[in-house]
Structure 1
Amino acid sequence: MGKGDQKTRRGKIFRGTYGKTRPRNTDKPSIAAPPPAAPKKRTTKK
């Protein structure tokens, strides 16, 4: 269970291969952070 084991994630990283334990792409889509909204102006009652 180390670098020489092809079935473990560490072994796949060491050999540079992909598979079930080390998929190529992540399931989560990369979402860019939305730009910060401008602060809202407060209206006061008179």
Structure 2
Amino acid sequence: QKDYAARHGLSLAATKSRLLRAREKMRGQMSAACQVRFDEQGRVSDHVQR
């Protein structure tokens, strides 16, 4: 994240915030399109298309 922020002229805080929002958006889109199961760490462990 630090390297990405430096390469793109962003602060580390802004980069982390954008990544968090992107992950949340992707999770929402996946949940709308698929039946998704997550493991204990919140990672996708299985999915079936709706």
The TM tier, using the shorter chain, reads under 0.3
**Superposition TM-score, scaled by structure 2 size:** 0.19
Identify the structure with the greater strand proportion.
2
Using CA pairs under 8 Å that are at least 6 residues apart, name the structure with larger relative contact order, 1 or 2. Answer: 2
TM-score normalised by length of structure 1:
0.19
